[in-house]
Amino acid sequence: MDWLPDWVPSLTVSAVVLLVVDLVVRVTAIAVVPVNRRPSSALAWLLTIFFIPYVGVVAFLLIGNPKLPRARRRKQREINELILSSTKGMDLVSADHPWPPWLRGLVELNRNLGAMPLVGGNSADLCGEYDEAIRAMARSIDGAREYVHVEFYIMTKDPTSEPFFTALANAVDRGVKVRLLLDHMGSLRYPGYRRTTRFLDDVGIEWHPMLPVQLHKLKYQRPDLRNHRKLLVVDGEVAWLGSQNVLDRSYNKRGNVRRGLKWQDLMVRLEGPVVSGVEAMFITDWYSETDELLEAERPEVSPVGSPGHLECQVVPSGPGFDGENNLKLFNALLYSAQRRISITSPYFVPDESMLSAITTAAERGVDVELFVSEYGDQFFVHYAECSYYENLLRAGVRIFRYPAPYVLHAKHMTVDEEVAVIGSSNMDMRSFLLDLELTLMVCGREFADDLRRVEDEYRAKCTELTLEQWLARPRWDVIKENVARLTSALQ
């Protein structure tokens, strides 16, 4: 071997070292990645690490842990214990109401997972007109006497949201205490973030970013874990929740404005004991971000002055909980339905359990319909969603696509005649695993009828997708769907 150049032995040693490192990485990945992870997610991560090892390892270290830091999970458990103790024996439901026999078990499931009870004596009014919802929330703030609690995934002060921010400023001027939470990365991505935060500081609103990624302040967790909740509470008497953020319905992005895109959302205004449950979500998130537990405004449930007769249950979910609260609720509803299910979700990327639940419902004779957007504002999510359409259509699920330029962003479901859910949660892996969400389950024929009327309006505007049409789509779209479906498993 004397004829070999001097650098060859060192090159050989380097190659051996790299091979050993590569082997160690792969073996370690097999041992570490599947721990407490869905098989589909574990397989997707392992394939990524095996095919693009260095990129895959770095990505796994950055976003491979789907849970919040331990300190935040500890705070969630503390709040859950507080809620359970303060609401023990206060499930304010009518024992003589002829609810479906499966409902009691579902209520117990939600109580065990999210701590909140089912309470009666509530009223709920829907608002599906985007700009009017902002003005209506502003009017609620105008009536505040003591405090206003605001929490939204995205908040931007612009001409559309001006009434909302003006109402907050006026409330401060009246001596009302205003506390505000907005998601850090969620709001930062949209034009006007700095202008908005300066306004909040200038008018004297106490505000904090949720789940901030601020390395200079040593604040960090997996950067794509987000607080996706949308809620407003006024004096503990009125609450709002739903799918809508506080900014122009174009989201102020040039591409959206150029294409004429407009978000279509749905909010609900609540009065009654359930407001305390919505308040508990704000108190939880405020405590998580500030270490301040709002002692004087701890969640309490009281039937005094009940304005209605709907029975409601708040269902929180997210990486602060041990279980997938929203997914378990949705699946339980799908399996419980006897006659009809209507689902509205802008991002429908089910896991294996939900896909089985919804196709099984259709195959056992339940009328199942799904409302989605014709236009997908998120490339990978849209094509991942489309990859499920053939399975759904073959099972008998009817798919209605809301026409562009509108993006159907509402998130709700009605089951049979008397049970409905509405909130911030999409039916995708992100909402099941990574985002903090707020869902409301409502029991009552009048609310279900109101939501059915909204669904009827969707259906009148939508185009129904048939299996024949779907099978005729371009082959290139099928390839994009398959790739997007794989990426959706990286959770």
Dist CA 212 CA 195 (whole Å): 18
Dist CA 159 CA 412 (whole Å): 28
Dist CA 235 CA 379 (whole Å): 41
CB 299 within 8 A of CB 87: yes
pTM: 0.88
The pLDDT of residue 38 is: 67
Same fold, 70-101+118-310 and 325-490: yes
Give mean pLDDT in consecutive 10-residue pieces for the chain, a chain of 491 residues: 51 64 69 66 69 69 67 75 61 64 91 89 96 98 97 97 98 98 94 96 96 73 86 96 98 93 97 93 92 65 65 91 90 97 96 96 98 92 94 98 96 96 94 93 96 97 97 92 76 52
CB 281 within 8 A of CB 115: no
Dist CA 491 CA 482 (whole Å): 17
Structural domain boundaries of the chain? Answer: 12-51, 70-101+118-310, 325-490
Whether the ω angle into residue 405 lies within 30 degrees of 0, i.e. cis, is yes
**May I ask the CATH class of domain 325-490?**
alpha beta
The pLDDT of residue 18 is: 66
472: left (phi over 0), alpha (psi -120 to 50) or beta: alpha
CB 230 within 8 A of CB 153: yes
| Rounded (5°) CA angle 438-444-449 | 95
Domain 70-101+118-310 has CATH 3.30.870.10: yes
Q: Which two tokens stand for residue 490?
A: 């990286």
Instruction: Give me the DSSP letters along 403-462.
Output: PTTEEE---EEEETTTEEEEES--EEHIIIIIEEEEEEEEE-HHHHHHHHHHHHHHHHH-
Instruction: With both helix axes pointing from N to C terminus, report the angle between 39-51 and 7-32 in degrees, rounded to the nearest 10.
Output: 170
Dist CA 204 CA 435 (whole Å): 29
The upper half-sphere exposure of residue 132, i.e. CA atoms within 13 Å in the direction of its Cβ, equals 9
The four Cα atoms 209, 210, 215, 219 give a dihedral, to 10 degrees, of 120
Provide the 8-state DSSP code for 217. Answer: G
Q: Which two tokens stand for residue 94?
A: 């009518």
pLDDT 10s digits, 41-76 = 666 667 777 667 767 666 666 666 666 677 777 777
What does the chain come to in residues?
491
